[in-house]
Amino acid sequence: MKIIKITFVVLGVLAFSTSYGQDQDREKLEKQKKQFDKIDKDSNEAISLEEMTIFYEGKKNKSGDIINADKMFKNKDNNADGKLTFEEFIAKPEKKKKK
């Protein structure tokens, strides 16, 4: 009987932690979408370098350094088409290999 009770407790904790993690992921994704929409001034579901530069003009990162929108844009524009989709916007930048 104790084993059954322990099993139910463990399953309950696992179910809660999984659900809690999914809620956090969804909240993060919603925040990222709001940020994307703020930057995407023409609402064409893509961010141009101009839109990103205007949005980040004069803004600083957590370290207090001015944000380099051009560099950020180029790091995120994985297919080099001159615009960021939402998927590119939320993806971690790919590491560029040095030649």
Question: Is the pLDDT at 8 greater than 60, yes or no?
Answer: no
User: What confidence score (pLDDT) does residue 23 get?
Assistant: 80
51 burial (CB, 10 Å; 0-12 / 13-18 / 19+) is buried
Of 45, 27, 44, 42, which Cα lies nearest the Cα of 89?
45
**Residue 46, CB half-sphere, CA atoms under 13 Å: how many?**
9
Higher pLDDT, 58 or 7: 58
Residue 49 and residue 73 in contact, taking contact as beta carbons nearer than 8 Å: yes
Delineate the domains of the chain, giving CATH numbers in brackets.
2-90 (1.10.238.10)
| Average pLDDT in the chain | 84
Mean pLDDT for 79-99 is 82
